[in-house]
């Protein structure tokens, strides 16, 4: 539902719960996120909802802009069309959209009167915390997804705002232990806050990769949003180095994003455009990726790193930088091969060493699949979600 310029409209045709009924219901919550684009945090919200998280409350999802809208229908199906509130239909998250969203969020809070507001991603946290300064009786949960902001001109201003407004945060969630530990620097105010790790990944029960024989060109695969911090440029440069050594390797990258044209231009300049395939966004991309030989992950900064976990889940041998959640669930030469950040030569060397060793690739891939199934089973996730749900709303008195 799109918010009008002067009112928050929550229709009730699909459900019997009206805003007045929501005000009386125990455990009302608003989950605030930047957009409905296909990103890790946004997919994580779908995973949470599909596995019963926040089921014990009346949940409204608020977004500042529609983004590419890739996840809109899935979220609407999970929470109800009338409980998905969009401040704008903007394709990009803009400053004007965030300002308009601030007023819209303030109106929504007055109407729904939630016990808890959950703020996911940095921009949502800045705007949401500022709005909640005027709603002191609402619990504020900051949901952290990445330890370090992207290197942009505004990064220092964002850091200042996040630290200054952290005084309003009552509880901190993070998508993995490393994110939780590294984001503590954003909370300088000396006050007690609850902390929790809320996993955004649940391992599928689908069969993992079983054939590790390489025939023909080496099939490399990657996935993620096409943004600078993912460092796809390193993989393209490694592809060029392999070509110069006479190694026939091809790389497929699943995803979309603003850096797509720059990636293609770099491949053209390196004379490997015919070896690079940008496959676009594919839901459950890992089903197709399992037919490839090696997964590459080259980011310089991550939170949990959903795509790495998905690749490991299906048993793909992975060569990766050690960032974010990969510190928690990857181990060199046991379930992954670790390489330095930003070093194309090191990545090319690791690929060249792994390709001829089928036994090593099988061992790494099968170990990865086994670990993902053990650590991130649906049963474990649902138990964690239930415990956090119960504690979260037990701490919030019901408003009448």
Please write the tens of the pLDDT for every residue from 38-95: 877 888 999 999 999 998 789 999 999 888 888 899 999 999 999 999 999 888 888 8
- Find where tokens 């459950």 sit: 284
Q: Give 245's DSSP letter.
A: T
Q: Per the structure block, which two tokens stand in for 262?
A: 């720059």
What does the pLDDT read at residue 150? 62
* Predicted pLDDT of residue 278: 97
Residues in the chain: 400
**Distance, CA of 233 to chain centre:** 21
Stretches in the chain below the pLDDT threshold 50: 4-25, 397-400
Domain limits, the chain: 19-202+378-394, 218-375
Backbone angles phi, psi at 38, to 5 degrees: -85, 85
pLDDT at 369: 96
Query: Residue 151: what pLDDT?
Result: 63
Q: Do domains 19-202+378-394 and 218-375 have the same CATH topology?
A: yes
pLDDT, residue 156, reads: 82
**In 66-189, beta strands by DSSP E:** 84-86, 116-120, 139-144, 171-174
Per-residue confidence (pLDDT) for residue 276, from 0 to 100: 98
State the DSSP H helix or E strand holding residue 86, giving kind and residue range, or none if neither. Answer: strand 84-86
Which pLDDT score, from 0 to 100, does residue 14 have? Answer: 34
pLDDT at 27: 80
CATH architecture entry for 218-375: 3-Layer(aba) Sandwich (3.40)
Q: How far apart are CA 74 and CA 63, in angstroms?
A: 14
Please give the DSSP secondary-structure letter assigned to residue 229.
Answer: G
CATH number for the 19-202+378-394 domain, one of 1.10.3720.10, 3.30.70.940, 3.30.450.20, 3.40.50.2000?
Answer: 3.40.50.2000
């Amino acid at each position: 539902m799109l918010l009008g310029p002067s009112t928050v409209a929550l229709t009730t045709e699909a459900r019997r719960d009206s805003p007045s009924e929501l005000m009386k219901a125990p455990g009302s919550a608003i989950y605030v996120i930047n957009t409905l684009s296909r990103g890790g945090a946004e997919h994580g919200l779908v995973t949470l909802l599909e596995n019963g998280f926040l089921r014990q409350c009346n949940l409204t999802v608020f977004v500042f802009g529609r983004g590419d809208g890739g996840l809109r229908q899935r979220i609407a199906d999970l929470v109800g069309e009338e409980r998905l509130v969009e401040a704008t239909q903007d394709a990009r998250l803009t400053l004007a959209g965030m300002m308009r969203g601030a007023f819209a969020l303030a109106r929504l809070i007055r109407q729904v009167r939630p016990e808890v507001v959950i703020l996911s991603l940095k921009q949502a946290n800045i705007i949401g915390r500022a709005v909640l300064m005027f709603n002191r009786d609402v619990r504020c949960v900051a949901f952290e997804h990445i330890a370090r902001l992207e290197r942009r001109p505004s990064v220092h201003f964002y850091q200042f705002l996040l630290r200054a407004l952290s005084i309003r945060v009552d509880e901190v969630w993070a998508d993995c232990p490393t994110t939780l530990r590294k984001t503590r620097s954003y909370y300088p105010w000396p006050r007690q806050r609850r902390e929790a790790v809320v996993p955004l990944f649940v391992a599928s029960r689908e069969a993992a990769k079983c054939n590790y024989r390489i025939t023909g060109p080496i099939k490399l695969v990657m996935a993620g949003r096409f943004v600078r911090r993912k460092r796809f440029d390193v993989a393209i440069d490694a592809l060029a180095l392999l070509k110069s050594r006479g190694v026939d390797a091809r790389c497929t990258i699943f995803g979309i994003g603003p850096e797509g044209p720059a990636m293609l231009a770099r491949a053209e300049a390196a004379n490997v455009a015919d070896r690079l395939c940008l496959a676009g966004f594919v839901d459950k991309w890992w089903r197709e990726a399992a037919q490839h030989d090696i997964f590459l992950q080259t980011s310089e900064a991550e939170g949990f790193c959903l795509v790495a976990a998905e690749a490991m889940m299906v048993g793909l041998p992975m060569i990766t930088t050690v960032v974010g959640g990969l510190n928690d669930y990857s181990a060199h030469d046991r379930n992954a091969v670790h390489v330095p950040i930003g070093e194309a030569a090191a990545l090319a060397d690791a690929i060249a060493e792994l390709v001829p060793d089928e036994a090593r690739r099988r061992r790494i891939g099968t170990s990865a699949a086994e670990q993902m199934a053990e650590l991130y089973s649906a049963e474990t996730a649902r138990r964690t979600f239930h415990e956090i749900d119960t504690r979260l709303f037990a701490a919030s008195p019901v408003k009448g």
